Structure formats: structure tokens, C-alpha cells
Structure 1
Amino acid sequence: MTARRPTHLPGTTGRPELMVILGSSLTVIAILCIVTFLLIREHAYAQHTATRSATTIAQLIDADVLRTVELYDLTLQGLIAAAQRDDLKQVSPQIRHLVLFDRSTTARFKGDILLLDKHGDVLADSSLIEPKPGNFADRDYFLAHVFNRDTGMFISRPFKPRCDCDDADEWRISFSRRISSPTGEFLGVAVASMRISYFEQLFNSLDVGTDSTLAIINDEGFLLAQKPFLRDNTIGTNFASRPNVVRMLKERSGTFEGVSSVDREQRLYTFTRVGNLPLTVIVALSIDEVFATWNRTAIVISGATGVLCIGLLWLAWLLCRELRLRQYAERELAQLAATDSLTGVANRRTLDQALRHEWFRAQRSTQPLSLLMIDADHFKAFNDRHGHQAGDVALRNLAEVIRANVHRPADLVARYGGEEFSVVLAETDSEGARQIAEHIRLAVERLPLVGADVLPMTVSIGIATWTTASEITLEQLLFSADKALYQAKEGGRNRVVCAG
């Protein structure tokens, strides 16, 4: 049973705060998705730019090294061609030296240029007209030409020269070619060494950042040059077993991110093979440097986005709170508009709406609908004797008794006007309505007396019921219930009368 049935005002149906929460959440998600997409795109662009820059640096190194190696190869070919001339054996040592090493002056950072016989002994030295005795049969370049006639130009591992000269501690690499007879017999080796300081000068002309590195390795994984030099990472160290180097030597060129096995730093590796030479240029950019600008931008944008999203959610929360307060106020106003202020039951306006609603529902469901009209007996005399204040108390007590005997939530108790009340009983036939009416009448009789010299409060009740067998309108139902109430009063009051 409910004594009051709330009336919804426009704008109070539904949950607008849920729409605000949903809308603000979707907006925040959209903002986060857009910002994330933009940051990911900028991250990819930063990586692409760094890769393109590293590729350009690698190509510059590649081109310079190729030119330098080509000069050394021309020097070796000129030395071999001159050494195979029979007429040089008849000239003086000075002239023979000039002819043999005529092209060696064009080679940059050159070290010794030697002509070795088939046993590895020195036949000619670019630095001396009369060469010092020496044997280089144990060098890797000599062994490579002895056992392979198709080696072509061979680039050696890094080595230090065997001399007491000032630059004896300076690393070098050598370029060599096999000297063969017309029948292919091995006659010796022409070899030209180059100081590795060439690579240092070349690397110093290129700016790759403070934490990034440049390096050149050969196909065996030996380090030929590096900028900057790292601790425990000297020239001539073999890195063939390192995972990054294994990948570079296998793929020959490309780009990937990896962790350096030397300093454990995350780096962006770009590597390329130097032409057809057994050399690989490596540009290892520091990830921190590559994404330094992006990181600063990401922090600023993420912070601003976070503040914006928090602000939106906070405003949404404030708006939801205001909407809830407004809904609460509207419900209170609607409740006040639907309730009789004196008795706390529904008022006449709510009664009319509920009765019309139940009437149409009964028409659709063909279930009976009953209406009780209740009037307090001799209330005017009671009010005159005890005053309006006592009369108001009596009416509130009467309303409470009626409400206590109407138990179903769908039923409605309302004040019709003055001392008259109405009860709408959905899906209730006349017999059920009579039982409820009798319970109400008896309960009213048991109300405590206001004064010892008055009779107990009583009520007269008229009942009208609509069924499918009835051919009456809603107005006629009201009239029948009111007529039955009049008959109850005419019949002596304190009784229940059903409309015939």
C-alpha cells in the first residue's frame, strides 16, 4: 500500500546525470585516444627522422671510405704493374723506387707500402729506397693471398706496425693484392697500410650527438674504428659473437632498436655495407637523444591533457551534483504538489490523475475497479465544539487509519475535500471493496476520544465498482460512489453502502 503516488514533472523522468557522466567519459576517452594517436605518430616521425639522418651519415661515411679505398687500390695496382716490368731491373734504385711508388702520394693517411715476395720478405718499401729486411708471411693478408688466388683486394684486421718508429702504437689496416705470374703462380703481395686515424678524422667531421656512436667493423666482426671510444672497447676487439653484430653482418643493411652489449644503453642502430667491401658502417643513436624533443613534448601534452580531462570530469561531477539536487528539489515539489498538506495523503489533483489512469488500465485488462468515498460523521459539530485545531488532528488520525487499512502499493488514498476521503482500489470487486471499507469503519470507531462527553468518531462509506458487465463512464462511477455515500448517511451513518 502506498498512501501517495508521485507525479513526475517534465524533465524529471530518466537519469540526465547518467547522460552527463557517459558524455563526459566518452569525451575524455576521445581526447585521450586522439592525443595518444598524435603522440604515437610523432614518436614514429621522430624515429623516422633519426633513421633518415643516420642513413645520411652512413652514406657519407660509405662514400668517403669508398673513395679512399679506391685510391689505395689504384696505388696497389700501379705498384703491381710497375713491379712486373722487366726494364726496371736495369735502372738505379732511386728511379726504380720512384716508378714503383709513383701513385702512393695520393693515398690519405698512408702508412708503409710494401712489395713482398712469395716468401713474405720485403722487396720494396715506400719509405726507404733500400728496404729494411723484414718478413710478413704470418700476416693475415699474406696468408689470404697464398691460399686463394681469387681473393682480389684484401682488407686486413687492425694491427700495429713492427717498427721502433714514433707511430708504432698507432693502429692500422692494410689493403693488399696478390701478384701472380701469367700462369697464375703466386709471386708475392703488394700491400699498403692506412692509419686508422683516418676514420677518427672522418668521424669527427660528423655530428651524431654526445651519447651516440659511430663504428666500422669488418666481416669477421673486428672493430676498426669508433667514435667515441668506450671503455673496454678497443680497436681490434672482436664482436662477432654479440647479438647486434651477428644481426648486422647477416642482414648487411637496415635499422633496428636494440640494447648495446657494451654500455647496456638502448640505441637505434642504422647499418650499411660499404659498397662491395667487407666493411660495415654502424650509426648507433642514443634513444634518449632521438626522442628527447618528443619526450619533452609528450610530457607537456600529457600534462595538459590530464589537466583538461580532470577538469572535464570535475565539471561533469559538479553538473551531476547540481542535476541530482535539482531532481531532488523537483521530486520534493512534485510530492508537495501531489500531497495534501494537512493529512499527508494524496490530494484531489493526484486522485483525479490516478483514477483516470486506473480507469483506462481496467478497460484494457477487464479487471474490476472499485472506488470508496469516505466521510467523517458529524464532523462540523465536532469541529465547532473542539475547535479547528482538534478537527485537524482528527482528520490526520482518520487519514492514518484509512492508509493503514489499504495495503496494496497500487491502491491510492486521497483527500477528496473537507472531511471527505477517497480510496481507489485497482483490480478489486465490490465484495473485496466492502471488506476493506468495513475494516476502515471499525478501525475509526476504535480511535481514542477527544473528550469524555462525545460519541466515538465514525465514518460513512459509499462504494461503487466497475466491471465488464457495467455500462458506465468514469464520471458515472464517481457519481455512484458519491450517491452510495449519501445513502449511507441517510441510513443512519457509521455504515457501508454499495451502489446498486
Structure 2
Amino acid sequence: MGRIHAPINPCDESAIINHHSAKPANPQLLLILGSTLTVVAILAIVTYLLVRERGSAAQAAARAASNIVQLIDADVLRNVELYDQAVKGLIEASQRPDLASVPPQVRHLALFDRSSTTSHRGDVLLLDRQGDVIADSLSIKPRMDNFSDREYFQAHLHDPSPRLMISRPFKARRAPHPWLIGFSRRVSSADGEFLGVAAAAMRLSYFDALFKTLNVGKGSSVNLISTAGILLAQQPPLAEELVGKNFGNRPNFIRILHEGEGSFTSVSSVDGAERLYTFSQVGELPLIVVVALSTDDVYRAWRHTASLVGLATGVLCLIVLWLTWLLSRELRLRLRAEEELAELAATDSLTGVANRRALDEALQREWARAQRSGKPLSLLMIDADHFKAFNDRHGHPVGDQALRQLAQVIGDSIRRPGDMAARYGGEEFAVVLPETDEHGALNLAQKIRAAMAAQAPFKGDAQAITVSIGASTTSPPSEGTVEQLLRKADQALYQAKHEGRDRAVHASLAPTRTRA
């Protein structure tokens, strides 16, 4: 027997349409897919442009910061060189043998030039090997003081190199005790013996005055740091406890020291704020200028633009989606109307099963499929017995009710989605059974026949309406045609009626039908 699966209701209009014609590509789905891709493309393009603009804003800020760094580099380098020249001049003059015999005023003028008295310059001192002051830029008679405890003095004492040394910030011993940094060199004899130290002090107020002219914005800063990590100066001005603090172990400073020059964005280890750091070493000096710009300032204009563009893009995408929804709804209504028209064109209006046109199309389609797959195809022809007499006895309305009952019984009996019930004409119905052999067709025919016989009789009748069923089967490959399959089923139906009705007969050669 052929396979029997889930039932199908002959009044199920979607099943009839599936038999009637294959569904085309869903235009509603294509519209939604196209609109979705459009929205995704818009968002991708806008995102790419905004990201590129953000990068451009960072590059522009880095270029501006780099210009500030270069200006500070040049100014600091020029002033440090002036201090270094003053220290070198002091060393050279102090080693002239003829200075010892000249008056103190002349000796003072020879050792110190007028630049030693500029507003931001502290003391310029010449110290002997014990650290005692032997020449002082502030007075002709040297003060009675000893600086052997200073870091720079101890460094020169143990380091024979004549290099310029820049000290940590320290407070002056004289009131009002300003913060200073020292520039010093070792004084040595011809054979390298330590003779003392020449030192010049610069007030940190110089850097405050230099940086004060620069407006880098709120949350940003300009910094001067030694290569040892000592913070020397900053704008905004440093808090007292930060002057001279060592930042040498901070990740950002380590990166700055390693790269030497450039820019990067990172989070500050001091306050946790994100900043754009641009930096450069001051010539060959052990000093680094760092401009740290707050990314809030760097990206403020970009964020404003991004907000407007994002809002406009969001509105545009919502409009596209809204229009898509409107078009989708219109397409859905149109498809529904087309489906209803297709249902009307393929459905028998009285019984709700497929009509003759749909049956012919289904037979052609299933015949071709059976030839390709090599699977059997069966057809049932079902006819209500003595229906003309029943119609004359009960009238057409009751006759129509009986036909609907027969259609319902057929629909309840077939089990597979591919099976199809149709009204062939008048009181005659047909059932197309793909992949069903002779035994399966006969079993289903007997089931339909028995189900009709078990129905309640109509008022005034002794028994229910019975049916005669003719079945035919083709098993590919076959040289037959659809018309021959129909003819065999019709011949089997004739034979069932000829043998007494209320029975099912499979196709066999029989005389031409002359139905009573």
C-alpha cells in the first residue's frame, strides 16, 4: 500500500492554490531585504565618515599641540643655552691667573655679566672643592655659605664629566624661598682634579610666565619634565606637593621616554582622564616638553557634528523603514487579493474543493513528476449513486448539501499534503494520489466508500447516499498519457456501477461507458 500521511481538508484554500500554481518569489520579502540592506549601507557609510572625521580631529589637535611643543622647545633651549654660557664663562674667567690681583669690583664684573641679574635668574655661584662660595653674582663680597649638600655638587664631585647638569627643583635658602632649578658644570684642573662647581639657578616662575601665554583649554596642560621623570613645571600651575615629583615609573612617561617625539592618546595615571599627549625632547638637553590635551576638548566639535549627523541619519533610516512598512503592507494586501482571486479561480464554489481546471493542472504536474521520479500515480473517480433521483426527491438545496457532505468525507479520508480532491463535474469527484500504488488507491477508495455509507440518512431516506469509485494507476516508465489514466479510472467507475454500485473497482479494460 502507498504511504498515507497527515490529512488535508478539501476546503483548505491554501492547499488548492499550491496545487494550482507554484508561488513566485515573495516581493514583500525582497522589499524588506532591500530596505534593510539600504539602511545598513547608510549606517555603514555614515559610521565610516564619522570615524574618519574623528581621526582628522585628532590629527589636527596633534599638529596644533606639536606647534606649541616646538615653540616651547625653542624658547627653553635658548634660555638654557644662555645659562650654560654664563656657567661656562664663569669657569673660564675663574681660571685666569691675572684675576687674583685685580680689585674685587673688576673681578666681579669679569666673572658675571649683566644677564646674571635678569628677573627669573637666581644666584650664579662659584663653589670651591669644599662647597664654599668663592664668587656670588648677587654681591661683590661672597656670602658665607656652603652648598656641598646640594645634589648637583655631590654629582659633580663623583663624576669627572664636564657635562651640563640640570638639578631637581629645590627651594632657595634666602627669603622668599622661591622654587629653583640649577644648571651646573664641574670645575677641573688641567689634569682633571676636582676644583669645585659653577652653578646658575633659574626660578620656576620663568616657566609659569612662559606657559601662561598658552591657552590649551580646560582639563589640558603643558608640562616640562626631566628625562629622569622629575616634573619641573606645568600650566596650569603645579600644586606645591607636585613640584619635583618623580613620574619616572608611570606608563605614559615610560612611553614618552621610549619614543622621544610624537603623540598618542592614553588615560592619565594621575586623574584617570583621557588625553592626547604630544611631546618632544628639548634639543640634546635632558628635558621633555609634553602638551596633554583633554580628549573632551579635542573631540568637542566632532561630537557636536556627530550628534547632528547621527540624528539626521537616524531620522532618514526611520523614514526608509516607515516607507518600507507602508509598501510592505500594500504588497501584502495586493498578494492577499491575488491569492483570493486565485482561490476563486481554482475552487469549486459549492463544495470548497478544487475545480476542474485545478484538477487538470494538478494531473499534468503530477504525471510529469511521476515520470521523472519513477514513482506510481493513482487517480480515483467518485460518483454519488442515484444522485439524480435523490435530487428530484429532496430538491436542489438538499442535493447541494449532500455534495458538500461527500466533499467533506473525501477530504477527511485523504492524508497527505500532496493528495488533492476536486469536483470533476455534477455529482462526480476526483482524487489525485501521487506516489500511491494500486493497493493504496483501492484501500483509500474503500475507506471513502465506507465513510459515506456510515453517514446519517437524509430525512425520508432509508439509508445514506452511497458512492461508486473507479481507480486507475500508472507506474512509470509508461507510454500512456493523462487522458488514458482518466479514461481507465472512468472505465473502472463504470464497472463499479455496472456491478451494483456502492463499491470500488481498479482500472481494467472495459467496454465504452453508457451510464444510466
The TM-score normalised by the length of structure 1 is 0.86
Matched, 1:267 2:271: no
More displaced stretch, 273-282 vs 132-141: 132-141
- Map of 2:153 onto structure 1: 142
How far did residue 431 of structure 1 move?
6.1
- Cα separation, partners in 2 of 1:337 and 1:158, compared to 1, 3 Å: same
Q: What residue identity is the alignment partner of 1:271?
A: F
Q: CA deviation at 1:131?
A: 3.2
Identity within the alignment, %: 57
Give yes or no for the alignment of 1:89 onto 2:100: yes
Matched, 1:119 2:130: yes
The answer to whether structure 1 residue 128 and structure 2 residue 134 are counterparts is: no
Per the TM alignment, residue 354 of structure 1 is displaced from its structure 2 partner at its CA by: 1.6
Alignment-derived partner of residue 244 in structure 2: 236
Q: In terms of mean alpha carbon deviation, does 197-206 or 326-335 score higher? A: 326-335
The offset of 1:132, in angstroms, is: 3.0
Cα 1:247–1:378 change in 2 (3 A) is: closer
The answer for unaligned runs of 5 or more in structure 2 is: 1-6, 510-516
Greater Cα shift, 82-91 or 321-330: 321-330
Structure 1 residue 294 and structure 2 residue 325: aligned? no
Aligned AA for 2:110? V
Partner of 1:47: 58
Q: Distance in 2 between matches of 1:123 and 1:61?
A: 35
Q: 1:171 aligned to 179, 185, 191, which one?
A: 179
Equivalent residue of 1:123, what SS? strand
Task: Indicate if the aligned counterparts of 2:371 and 2:477 stay in contact, CA closer than 8 A.
Answer: no
Query: How much has 1:314 moved relative to structure 2?
Result: 4.8
Instruction: Give the corresponding residue for 2:121.
Output: 110
Task: Note closer, same or farther for the CA distance 1:331–1:203 as it changes in structure 2 (3 Å cut).
Answer: same
Summarize the Cα distance change of 1:269–1:233 in structure 2 as closer, same or farther, 3 Å threshold.
Answer: farther
Partner residue, 1:6: 16
Residue type at the aligned position of 1:379: F
Please give the per-residue CA displacement for 1:88-145, whole angstroms capped at 9, x wherever unaligned.
Answer: 3333333332222236359662222223333333333223233333322222233333
Q: How many residue pairs end up in the alignment? A: 497
Partner in structure 2 of residue 255 of structure 1: 263
Change in Cα spacing, 1:103 to 1:83, as seen in structure 2 (3 Å) is farther
Bigger mean CA deviation after superposition, 293-302 or 212-221: 293-302
- 1:372 to 2:380 alignment: yes
Residue 389 (structure 1) aligns with: 397
**Is the CA contact 1:74–1:103 (under 8 Å) kept in the aligned structure 2?**
no
Q: 1:396 to 1:197 in 2, by over 3 A?
A: same
| SS across alignment from 2:352 | coil
The code of the aligned residue for 1:127 comes to L
Amino acid across the alignment from 2:128: D
RMSD: 3.4
- Counterpart of 1:358 in structure 2: which amino acid? E
Residue 34 of structure 1 aligns with an amino acid whose one-letter code is I
Q: In structure 1, the residue corresponding to 2:92 is in which secondary structure? A: helix
Contact 1:222 1:238 in 2 (8 A): yes
* Shift, 1:348, TM fit: 0.6
Aligned equivalent of 2:193: 185
Contact 1:6 1:334 in 2 (8 A): no
Gaps of 5+ in 1: none
Return the offset for 1:286: 1.5
Helix, strand or coil: the match of 1:414? strand
Counterpart of 1:194 in 2: which secondary structure?
Answer: strand
Q: TM-score, normalised by structure 2?
A: 0.83
**For structure 1, which segment, 434-443 or 58-67, has the greater mean C-alpha deviation from structure 2 after superposition?**
434-443
Letter in 1 for 2:216: V
Deviates more, 1:390-399 or 1:365-374: 365-374
